[in-house]
Amino acid sequence: MKLNIKYTGKILLIALVALGTGCKKFLAEQDPSNLSPDTYYTIPEHGEAGVAAAYAQTRFIGNGAGIFVANFSMLEMVTGTARTETGQNSDLNNLLGLSFNGENLLVRNWWAGLYNVIAQTNQVTDKVPGISPMDETRKAQIIGEAKFLRAWAYFYLVRLYGDVPLVTVPQTINSPDFYPTRTSTELIYKQIVDDLTAAEAAGLPWKVTSGTASKGAVKSLLAKVYLTMAGQPLNKGAAYYKLAADKSLEVINNGSFKLFDSYGDLHNIKKENDVEHIFEIQYLATVAANPMQQLLLPNFKDVSAYSDEVGSTVPTTEFYESFEPGDLRTKDREGFFYTSYYTGGNGALKQLNAPYIYKHFDSLAHGTFEVKGTTQSDLNWPQIRYAEVLLIYAEAQNRADGAPNAEAYAAVNKIRKRALLTELSGLGQTAFEEAVWRERWHELCYEGITWFDMVRLRKVYNVKTQGFDNFVGHKFPASQATVLAEKHLLFPLPTVEVKNNPNLRPQNPGY
């Protein structure tokens, strides 16, 4: 089931963020050219529209970043698990070679996109409380959804850039903190936890299939935040591992979510926002089509109804080969990868001689055997899956209690059982922890998660040894000249932002 933001978000975003023409049924007696947040948020429908626009803003992750690239690629190029088959985009190449700086367009787009989400949610949390009359239950839910999205945005920002400006009220050019300074990482995390705790108590349903935030999504994100706070850079340790374990266990015990039986259901449009998908970025071709499909295809190998097959972000062979023998996730066109596909998307099967990402593959758009593709993708982009919640619990419980319990084994073994792998048993704390980390690298690959695991753990999966190297000094397998350094634990602040606001200085170390 699709959320109505796919239809309304794009329109309402214009009204609420760009302050252009509005929805006539909401504003029949007002001059659309004179809209402002103060005059707009006057009836309940405006609150619904405001939060819908915030959801729509999350789609910046799939927006373009120059020729043949979208923003999502930034989080994959710096992990050593991805490569590119196109060399035209220098920003992408610089990320792949770890030679990027604050001029990089993707670095700039992530900053701007996340702060756009924050700007819209700040409008909602500031203006919706004053709408009257309005059903108080729904009002609380809308504010809770907005706080969830604000926390989601700040969680990305603090992990990407470290100390960042904390802005929680609408801004104008006359605002006293229009040129804000950077807020400590500790205080940013406090705001994230405060927002999620408020959202948790906002009366949201445990599960929804419309694409909006649910209580299950709030608790899952909070578990993820606690796990991150337990690690670097805050290093809060056992107490926060315990918080992460307890919160993820709430999601597990509630029973609203479960793993899909088939990996194919991960990219089955009929099963979006349901079962294993706890929260996703919403797409609908008639309003905002999924723009990542062409970018993930092999570079012009004629395997799709799309005419442009880019190969912008594809797996490294070394990472693909690091999966255990027999792992169903590597099975061609059944797991997370494909090594063959149909000519033109619907013709004879052809071998590709390299692995490509099947986890996000929209077969309706590309085509299947004897069925021509539509070249229009409605496929959502995952943000939180139940598989991740299981792995959060397994890792956090083991660290909090000093050894894995039966529930931790059960959690990780559900992942392994689906992959047709031998279940884990009899491991000590360290061996179990590293086994869970390996599952995270393999199960959560190409979902924008691996980089943040590298940073919080200060470890990187070594695809050759199957062990874990220290972050600083790790060499990417595809290029031994590409070496992670201390400065790579954070991205640089965008140069244009630092120029426009000197209060953001100094730049992150090493840039």
pLDDT digits (tens, 9 = 90+) for 326-381: 999 999 999 999 999 999 999 999 999 999 999 999 999 999 999 999 999 999 99
H/E stretch holding 409: helix 406-418
- Tell me if residue 453 falls in helix, strand or coil: helix
* Spatial distance between the Cα atoms of 224 and 252, rounded to a whole number of angstroms: 14
Torsion sign (Cα): 312, 113, 6, 34: negative
The percent of residues above 70 in pLDDT, for the chain, comes to: 93
Residues of the chain within CATH 1.25.40.390 domain(s) are: 1-174+474-511
Over residues 128-152, the pLDDT tens digits come to 999 999 999 999 999 999 999 999 9
Residue closest to 323 by CA, chosen among 339, 302, 343, 337: 337
Please tell me the predicted confidence (pLDDT) of residue 477: 87
Measuring CA to CA, how many Å separate 140 from each of 33, 37, 147? 30, 19, 11
Q: How far is CA 429 from the centre of its chain?
A: 29
Please tell me the predicted confidence (pLDDT) of residue 481: 82
Instruction: Assign 9 a pLDDT band (cuts: 50, 70, 90).
Output: very low
Please tell me the predicted confidence (pLDDT) of residue 5: 52
Instruction: Assign 7 a pLDDT band (cuts: 50, 70, 90).
Output: very low
Contact call for residues 273 and 280 (beta carbons, < 8 A): yes
Over residues 90-102, the pLDDT tens digits come to 999 999 999 999 9
96: alpha, beta or left, given left = phi > 0 and alpha = psi -120 to 50?
Answer: alpha
* pLDDT above 70 (res 122): yes
Length of the chain: 511
Please tell me the predicted confidence (pLDDT) of residue 258: 98
Please tell me the predicted confidence (pLDDT) of residue 3: 53
**Residue 141, φ and ψ in degrees, nearest 5:** -65, -45
* pLDDT above 90 (res 164): yes
Contact call for residues 50 and 12 (beta carbons, < 8 A): yes
Confirm or reject CATH 1.25.40.390 for domain 1-174+474-511, answering yes or no: yes
Please tell me the predicted confidence (pLDDT) of residue 30: 44
* pLDDT above 50 (res 29): no
DSSP secondary structure of 48-66: HHHHHHHHHHGGGGGSB-S
pTM (predicted TM-score)? 0.93
* Spatial distance between the Cα atoms of 488 and 270, rounded to a whole number of angstroms: 39
* pLDDT above 90 (res 247): yes
Instruction: Assign 87 a pLDDT band (cuts: 50, 70, 90).
Output: confident
Question: Dihedral, CA atoms, 464, 466, 468, 474, nearest 10 degrees?
Answer: 10
Mean pLDDT value of segment 247-270: 98
Please tell me the predicted confidence (pLDDT) of residue 2: 56
* Spatial distance between the Cα atoms of 104 and 111, rounded to a whole number of angstroms: 11
Q: Which residue has the tokens 């596909």?
A: 341
Over residues 439-485, the pLDDT tens digits come to 999 999 999 999 999 999 999 999 999 999 999 999 998 777 899 99
- Tell me if residue 103 falls in helix, strand or coil: coil
* pLDDT above 70 (res 195): yes
* pLDDT above 70 (res 80): yes
* pLDDT above 50 (res 22): no
Contact call for residues 38 and 86 (beta carbons, < 8 A): no
* pLDDT above 70 (res 427): yes
Computed over every residue of the chain, the mean pLDDT equals 93
One-letter amino acid of 58: T
H/E stretch holding 341: strand 337-342
Please tell me the predicted confidence (pLDDT) of residue 34: 56
Please tell me the predicted confidence (pLDDT) of residue 39: 78
Alpha helix ranges (H) inside 293-373? 293-296, 317-320, 363-366
* pLDDT above 80 (res 262): yes
Pairing status of strand 475-476 against strand 349-357 = unpaired
Q: Which residue has the tokens 């787009």?
A: 109
Please tell me the predicted confidence (pLDDT) of residue 354: 97
* Spatial distance between the Cα atoms of 267 and 257, rounded to a whole number of angstroms: 17
